[in-house]
Structure 1
Amino acid sequence: MPQRSDTLETTLLALEILRHIPRKHKITAKELQQKLQCAGIKRDLRSVQRLMAALSDSAALGIERDDRSKPYGFRWQEQARGMALGQLTLHESLLLQLAQEHLKHLLPVHLMQSMDGFFAQARRNLDGQSPNERLARQWSSKVRVVATSQPLLPPAIAPGVLEEVSEALYANRWLELDYQNAAGVRKAVKVMPLGLAQQGPRLYLVCRYEGFDNERSLALHRIRKAQASTLGFERPTNFDFQRYDDDGRFGFGEGERVRLTFEVERDAGFHLRETPLSHDQQVEDLADDWLRITATVVDSAMLHWWLRGFGTAVRAVQRDPILA
């Protein structure tokens, strides 16, 4: 029985390793050991080296070993099937391709890395020349997520920051940061990571500073260094990320709801009939091609900027607090 258990454990370890072997570049045993650790599997380097030697010696697998210099590098041979996913349909492949593009910043880095084999297989499935494969491959060039304001390039994030932040967020671990705020003040802080949000081209970490019970949003591009601690924490039961967003916190608000009333030129505000500000929005036609809009919204700096964007096409703005 112990031997059967050891055999099963070695088989599962080999399967996990095979999932991380790349096709285009080479990976060392040390790098594989690190990927195993990220997946929660701890093995000493010598064990990984022995297993890679055995796997690369098997001609059936098609693993190429570069032993011209140490450390040895490993990758799939060009014609090798690797960890092929035979049941992945064209529609599933297309969905995975789109998911990789739009979720790459919103999933923990190690989870995205663990999906590399699926993403690679999806790309290969879409590389074929049959009519259905060509149609599926064309789909990504037929759909776009377009900006609603002036497009901006994403700010640069320091190497390793996203990986450490996502790891700490995923595992509920304290996070040690070297953070420089918008005023240029730089200091070391220890935070409890609670959420990660993408707003346009920017990523924000919602967290609580050690010793405080209120939330703050930190721009990831202002984090100079990040280190996930080995110390864990219990996620606060009184924090709701959906409510945090609904309260307008990413629009620089404090959750205060107001009854907003303003008048806008018909041409400038026509789109509000199709995309209202709230479920209770009311639109009244006025003389001289103006509209009066009334809606319950969260008061925030973003709301003020939005109203100012109309320029002289908006007038008579009134925000009445809603009493609890």
Structure 2
Amino acid sequence: MTQHPDPPATLADVARRAGVSPATVSRVLNGNYPVALDTAARVQRAVTELSYVVNGNARALAAATSDLVGIIVNDVADPFFGLIASGIQDETGGTDVLAIIGNTAGAPDRELRYLTLLRRQRARAVVLTGGTVDSPDHLRAVATQVSALVSAGTTVVLCGRPPLAGADHGPLAGVSTVDFDNRGGGQALTAHLIALGHRRIGYVAGPANRTTTKLRVLGHQDALKRHGLGGTDCPVVSGDFSRGTGESATAELLRQRPDLTAIVAGNDTIALGVCAYLRSQGRTVPADVSVAGFDDLPFSADAVPALTTVRLPLIEAGRTAGRLALGRQLPPPGGIFPVPAELVVRASTAPVRGI
């Protein structure tokens, strides 16, 4: 019987043997990206054991199609996403890569379609920004797409959204996450209002099915529970991350509890709408009602009154994501780069009258 030789080892075979992603193997073999010494040694050992030989034609093809970085955002007109994208492009602008922005308009099917298109284009890197739909089916579909991208050699970075779960329910292998502390920020903001004496605190949330909304509301509720507050004294109304939602949701909150002394907004844009509606009803901020936002967008310090908010370093987070995407920064331990949230107290919050 004729003996057929074993097929030549592939880059994916080397990655499995070394326990790393195909992208890491490529970095070690190309020698132009920083890789930890012990990781590089494992890769080189796997190359030797498998007698792996680089396919010159494949390398040329990969090089010819590795100049694309995809940045996926929910709303390119929202300053939150614009600042993150700006930070990413700060890192890609002086290189030989082309960074493009895919705007999903919050549609989960469009997010998946962009991932498919970027995989077809053999993108060098993909950065998914901001929260996503908090649906097990959608999250599994995204994880499947991302796993396929990583296996094909694409670097994938999440910026401002929770880590994706792999089959073992831990963080998806080969993916770096620049993780905002939305829950901790939400807790600090509401704790600040409670410390000022507020006990009837309304909340205007963003879309109820988004991960960012869920985490910020959970932080708010953590602070309420810690102080024995909540229930009908602290109603929550959801909408989108817009000024219009701030106005309409505030009307509903005051219908439910006309005696609210503070309102927390899911982001700074909502907070502007909250303030506008309160003024239209003859209520003064913060003398009658304290108002707080989230994100510390550029206009927040110039609002009247200046907004108390939670600061997320959006541009620097984008830069970190860009460096990770291009291999200029080593992936963090466990694949997660935590970004702290900082409480910024300004003139829109004050003690309850009489306290």
Q: Verify same fold: TM over 0.5.
A: no
Greater helix proportion: 2
Greater strand proportion: 1
Using CA pairs under 8 Å that are at least 6 residues apart, name the structure with larger relative contact order, 1 or 2.
Answer: 2
TM-score (structure 2 length as normaliser): 0.27
TM-score (structure 1 length as normaliser): 0.29
Of structures 1 and 2, the larger Rg is shown by 1
